[in-house]
Structure 1
Amino acid sequence: MPKLALTPGTRLIFATSFIVACLLVTIACALHQPYSGLRLAVAEQANHSKLQQPENHIVVTGTIHPQIPVGARLVSLQAGSNSPWSLTADDLTEDPHFLESYAAMQQLFERQTALHAQLKQQQFIRIGWQLKPEQPVTYTEIPVAASRPLASLPVVFWFQLAVSALGFLLGCWIWALRPQDIAAQVFAGLNAMYPVFAFAAAIYSTRDLALNGQLLHALVIVNTAGALLYGSALLSLFLVYPKVLVRPAKLWLIPAFFILWLVADSLYLLPEPSMGGDLPVTLQMLGAIMLAIWQWRINRNDPRARAALRWFATCILVSCGLFVFLVQSIQLLGIETSLSQGYAFGFFLLVTIGIAVGLKRYRLFALDQWAFGILFWLGGAIVLILLDALLIMVLSPTVSFGLALLICGLLWLPVRGMLQRRFLVKEGLKQEELFQAVLDISFANTEQNRRQQWQQLLHRLFQPLEIDEIPHGELLVLPFSGNQPALNADGLALLLPAIGDIPALRVQYPRQGRGLFSGQDCNLTRHLITLIQRADDSRFAYDRGASEERSRIARDLHDDIGSRLLSGLHQQDLHQTKQVIRQSIADMRTIISGMTGTGLALNMVLDALHQETAQRLQESGIALDWTVKLEDDTVPLNYQTYKNYISIMRELLSNIIKYAQASSVTVRISHQDGVLLTALQDDGTGFNLEHQAHIVTTAGSMGTGSGHGLNNLKQRMQVLNAQLEVQPPPEQGGTSLCIQIPLACS
Structure 2
Amino acid sequence: MTRLTSTPTLSARVDGEPALLSTRPRQLGDLPFPFWMHLLIGGINFVMAAGVLAYRPADPAARHYALFGAGVLLTPYTATIYLTRELLIDGALLHALSTLNHLFLCLTVAALVALMSTYPGRLGARLPALAYTAGMLAWLGQFTRAFAAPNAVYLITLSFFALGLGLAYPQWQRTRGHPVERAALRWFLLSLLLGTGLFAALVALPLAFDQPPPVDQTWLTPLFLLVPAGIALGIVRYRLFELDRWWRSVWTWFFGGVAVMALDLTLLTLFDLTRLGAITLSLALLGWLYFPARQWLWARWLGGPPAAERHTWLRELSAAANPAELRARWLAALHARYAPLESRHDPGTETLIETPSPGARIEDDGLTLRVPDPLSTHDVLLRHADGGARLFGTADAADADTLAGLARLLREAMHERDQAVADERQRIRRDLHDDLGAKLLALLYRVDVGNQPLVRSAIRDSHEILAALDAEPLPLADAVAQWRAEAQERAITHGFQLDWRAHRIDEPTDDGNAVLDARQHTNLARIVREAISNAVRHAGARHVAIDITRDGYRLGLNAAPADWRNGGGTRQIAQRAEELGGEAAWEPADGGTRLRVSVPLQRSTARGHDALP
TM-score (norm 2): 0.40
Q: Which protein has the larger Cα radius of gyration, Structure 1 or Structure 2?
A: 1
Q: Which has more helix, going by share of residues?
A: 2
Larger RCO (CA under 8 A, 6+ residues apart): 2
Q: TM-score, normalised by structure 1?
A: 0.35
